[in-house]
Amino acid sequence: MNGIEKRVQEVLHNLNWLLEAHDSFAELIEIRGKKVVIRCVGSCAECETNCVKVAFQERMPDIKLVLQ
């Protein structure tokens, strides 16, 4: 696991315990350079609060996040 993947997995780990309360989760689909693709499943996929995006912006502002 490279450095960026490790950081992404740490953010996802911290997010998913919160998302579970809403019957949701987020998972890593792909990392290509600084582009990180995350799939949101459950009610978080339709949520307007963008907590997944905010969490990544706060912890990894140097990446380009793509949510599916």
pLDDT digits (tens, 9 = 90+) for 25-61: 999 999 999 999 999 999 888 888 889 999 999 999 9
Q: What is the pLDDT of residue 48?
A: 82
Q: What is the pLDDT of residue 61?
A: 97
Q: What is the pLDDT of residue 9?
A: 97
Cα–Cα separations (whole angstroms), residue 33 to 23, 30, 48, 50: 31, 10, 28, 23
Q: Which two tokens stand for residue 61?
A: 């502002």
- Residue pair 55/14 in contact (Cβ under 8 Å)? The answer is yes
Q: What is the pLDDT of residue 3?
A: 93
Sign of the alpha-carbon dihedral angle for 33, 35, 36, 37: negative
Whole-model pTM over 0.85: yes
Q: What is the pLDDT of residue 49?
A: 83
